[in-house]
Structure 1
Amino acid sequence: MDWLKIGIRTQKEAEEIFSALLMEAGAKGVSIEGDNEACSKGGLPWDYLDEEVLEKVPFCVTAFFPCDGSEQEVLADIKERVRDVKGMDIGLPLGTLEIITQTVREEDWANAWKAYFKPVKISDFVVIKPTWEEYSAGQDEIVIEIDPGMAFGTGNHETTRMCVRFLEEYMEPGMRVIDAGCGSGILSVAAAKFGAEKVYALDLDPVAVDVTAENAERNGCADVIEAKRSDLLTEVPEGTQADIVVANIIADVVIALNGKAQKYMKRNGMYICSGIIDSRLGDVRKSLEEEGYKVIQILEDGEWRAIACKYRG
């Protein structure tokens, strides 16, 4: 299948606004790209580029939509949504808001960035290793072998790193975990390798579900991880009481999830939420406290924030 790649040129401060806009328009995932020559040739997600490159390039929020006959309708919808945002008094620099499109063959997209995805240690113990790279694990290192395929998630984004750090700190053997918005399954596999008894890996994108299941298999966790297509928590089995719910999404979706997650959590269970840009931290924290959570810890990484809290019941 071919894919229509739609990019919106903006400023970093407005990343979350346009990420949410593309998701609301039906994107299965959003990536951030630099608009330099390397990106334009390969369509390389922002996470895969060297920091020195990032400092020199403009900012572009991109998403992929299937070329199934609806792509022009989708493009028209996105243009209208961008015009609406442009007319609002948001108080943030929005950039040019130029919309860039490109048709990409699936195999080209899936393979172009592989040269840029190398083994990377994202926490005290966890190393993310692409399947096509060699790596000799050091003492106490936990290696997670990943092939993201068409799903989003290599583990090198700040939001994922912070979630893994929280899992390292709060996971105990025998726990039950819900990963809401599993992407390529990194957090689900990490939880399993930290000793989880059961992990429900949920994502609305069927590609993400398939990739998570494949990554669970290649990491020897298929008996622990149950990957399911789900709109947030709708497919969690009735009566499930998780020790930890982790949601690495975006602020507005986290806020929508806060009141729903409680149904599937043990009293004093941990709720880990990430994907929160600094400017939205106050909104998310206010929502959490209104829903009865006690904030335990906040991590910061660049512009991003992650929150660990307890549900007091």
Structure 2
Amino acid sequence: MSEEVTHRKKWIELSFRIDPVAREALSAFLFDLGSTGIVSEDFGDPALRAYFPSDCDPEAVASRTQVFLEELGRVFTEMERPVWAWQRMEDEDWSLAWRRFFHPTRITPNLLILPAWETPAAEETGHIIRIDPGLAFGTGQHPTTQMCLKALERASSTREAWSMLDLGTGSGLLAIYGVLLGAEPVLALDVDEDALAWAARNLELNFVQQQVTLSKTPVEDCRENFDVVAANLIFGEIMRLLPHLPRLLAPEGLLILSGLLDSQLNEVARASTVHGLAVQDTLLQDEWGCLLCSPVEKG
């Protein structure tokens, strides 16, 4: 599996410095344009980077991107003009190139995220999760992921036995921490085959492959329900999936909605109410927010 997903390729990298409010729209556009991967976690670097196969037409990509950025400027009138550039990455696997930005990250006193190629300190206590994110989102360095991890800790503190659904699992980080906190069974879904391959690798790195089921099953076709559902997605995906999420929750379940700018929280909260959910708490970090919701009691 490792050899299948880590073979060396040539890539074209587009890097952007753009206001966070427009990142979601830009990411969706770049995927539609043919990007095979987007790195939007900071690693101390605020740039958004998109990667295209070297056999694409770079001039066409650049031209369409410039037009789209001009349209974004008319929609988000208060943001500064985006700065962007593109370059060829000859004979380099981009998923390995940015490893130099990924360092051990302390999320909570009980959790350390460790790059798979590093060794923890001998005195380290608590949970250690080893991650090799590859092409997938999820290193624990982005605020949206950190808030999900903290929410999982909170959920586990009030539950002796609980099941978990991880929507858009990416690197598998949330599913892994769910298992370490006592969740069983855990179902991790993602529509991206590369992400599922890297998630499988990370499950093995943390010896939890037997406790987590990876699947491409669409949320709409999922018929089970879970004590905890984590959805660290972008705003548009959360809004699209929200009508389906209440039926996936156990009666006293917890829904973790992250990947949201704080300016988007009110709209998601209102939509959650429409679909029979109540917001129990809100987590905030930098310009990002996370909603913790539960089903409204009927009767």
| TM-score bucket (shorter structure) | 0.7 to 0.9
Residue pair 1:192, 1:199 contacting (<8 A) in 2 also: yes
Partners of 2:144 and 2:239 lie apart in 1 by: 16
Structure 1: tracts of 5 or more residues without a match: 33-45
Is 1:111 aligned to 2:96, yes or no? yes
Q: Which amino acid is 2:27 matched to?
A: S
CA contact (8 A) 1:29 1:152 kept: no
TM-score where L is the length of structure 1: 0.82
Q: Which residue in 2 is equivalent to 1:37?
A: none
How far, CA to CA, are the matches of 1:119 and 1:307 in structure 2? Answer: 26
Q: Is the 8 A contact 1:229 1:235 kept in 2?
A: no
Residues 270 and 282 of structure 1: is their aligned pair in 2 closer, same or farther, counting only changes over 3 Å?
same
Root-mean-square deviation (CA), in Å? 2.5
* AA aligned opposite 1:279: S
Instruction: Name the amino acid aligned to 1:185.
Output: G
CA contact (8 A) 1:127 1:143 kept: yes
TM-score by length of 2: 0.85
The answer (yes or no) to whether the contact 1:213–1:226 under 8 Å persists in 2 is: no
| Whole-angstrom CA distance in 1 between matches of 2:32 and 2:56 | 19
| Contact 2:256 2:291 survives alignment (8 Å) | yes
Q: Distance in 1 between matches of 2:55 and 2:244?
A: 33
1:250: how far off?
A: 1.4
Q: Do structure 1's residue 48 and structure 2's residue 32 form an aligned pair?
A: no
State the match for 2:162 in structure 1.
175
Q: Structure 2 unaligned runs (5+)?
A: 1-8
- CA distance in structure 2 between the aligned counterparts of 1:148 and 1:271, rounded to whole angstroms: 24
Structure 2 residue 215 is matched with structure 1 residue 228:
yes
Match status 1:208 vs 2:203 = no
1:72 offset after TM fit, Å?
5.8
Matched, 1:92 2:78: yes
Contact kept? 1:152, 1:184, Cα under 8 Å: yes
1:28 CA drift (Å): 4.8
What SS does structure 1 have at the residue aligned with 2:137?
Answer: coil
Which of 244, 250, 256 pairs up with 1:260?
Answer: 244
> Do residues 292 (structure 1) and 279 (structure 2) align?
no
CA distance 1:230–1:219, change in 2 (3 Å): same
Whether contact under 8 Å (1:16, 1:250) holds in the other structure is yes
* Residue 269 of structure 1: aligned partner: 253
Which residue in 2 is equivalent to 1:6?
Answer: 14
AA of the residue aligned to 2:12 = L
* CA distance in structure 2 between the aligned counterparts of 1:258 and 1:122, rounded to whole angstroms: 28
**Change in 2 beyond 3 A, CA 1:297/1:221:** same
Map of 1:158 onto structure 2: 143
Contact 1:28-1:205 at 8 Å conserved across structures: no
Shift of residue 2, structure 1, vs aligned partner: 2.2
Do the aligned partners of 2:165 and 2:229 also contact (CA within 8 Å) in 1?
A: yes
1:6 maps to a residue whose letter is L
Measure the CA separation in 1 of the matches of 2:217 and 2:34: 15
Distance (whole Å) between structure 2 residues aligned to residue 20 and residue 286 of structure 1? 24
Q: Counterpart of 2:78 in structure 1: which amino acid?
A: L
Residue of structure 2 equivalent to 1:304: 288
Q: SS at 2:47's partner residue?
A: strand
Distance 1:115 1:7 in 2: 17
Distance in 1 (alpha carbons) for counterparts of 2:232 and 2:247: 19
CA distance in structure 2 between the aligned counterparts of 1:104 and 1:193, rounded to whole angstroms = 38
Match of 1:149 in 2: 134
Distance 1:212 1:106, change over 3 A: farther
TM-aligned CA deviation for residue 97 of structure 1: 2.9
Instruction: Report the CA distance between 1:255 and its aligned residue.
Output: 1.5
Q: Is 1:243–2:218 an aligned residue pair?
A: no
Residue 137 of structure 1 and its aligned partner are, at CA, apart by: 6.3
Alpha-carbon distance change, 72 to 216 in structure 1, aligned in 2, over 3 angstroms = farther
SS at match of 1:208: helix
| Aligned mates of 2:91, 2:214 — CA distance in 1 | 23
CA contact (8 A) 2:166 2:186 kept: yes
Residues 151, 70 of structure 1: alpha-carbon distance in 2 compared, 3 angstrom cutoff? farther
- Please give the alpha-carbon distance, in whole angstroms, between the structure 1 residues aligned to 2:122 and 2:281: 30
What is the distance in 1 between the residues matched to 2:90 and 2:196? 21
